[in-house]
Amino acid sequence: MLSSVCGRIQLFIVLIVGGGSIATGETDRPRSASVYLISPKDGPFRVQFGLSGMDVAPAGIDTPNTGHRHLLIDVDESLDPNEPIPQDKKRLHFGAGQTEAPIELSPGKHTLRLVFRDWSHHLFPPPLMSDVITVNVNWFERGTS
């Protein structure tokens, strides 16, 4: 019985001594600890390109079953199969054979479509294009919630 009473007294003392930490919910941590987002990063984000059944080669290299990519951003008009795609902020050209790229979009909804063209920038018959996808970009100022 005495050992049972002593056990209760020790438990009571432990609860009182450690109570500040339990009651407030605060726990010590190393001062050097930090928390951060790995992905996505603020600003440009990485778009990865897929392809099956053919290979990628730099533009200007005439090799069978190869081509290079163009990324269309918010482009609704149809493409002329006999004309190269102009290069501008809405029509990105990846003629070096890139498989991914960082792109920067303004906040809001945007459409993306990947187009695969031959060595001379012409469409394959029939055209080789991805489905159109819609992305919604919401960049918030750093430090706001």
pLDDT in tens, the chain (145 residues): 545 444 444 444 444 444 444 556 777 877 887 777 665 566 678 888 999 999 999 999 999 999 999 999 999 988 887 788 889 999 999 999 999 999 989 888 999 999 999 998 888 888 899 999 998 888 655 444 4
Rounded CA gap, 56 and 129, in Å? 14
**Of 64, 67, 59, the residue nearest 95 (C-alpha):** 59
Q: What is residue 40's DSSP assignment? A: S
For strand 123-129 and strand 66-73, is the pairing parallel, antiparallel, or unpaired?
A: unpaired
pTM over 0.75: no
CB within 8 A of 108, min separation 6: which ones? 136, 137
Amino acid in the structure at residue 8: R
Q: How far is CA 109 from the centre of its chain?
A: 15
> What is the model's pLDDT at position 127?
87
> What is the model's pLDDT at position 74?
96
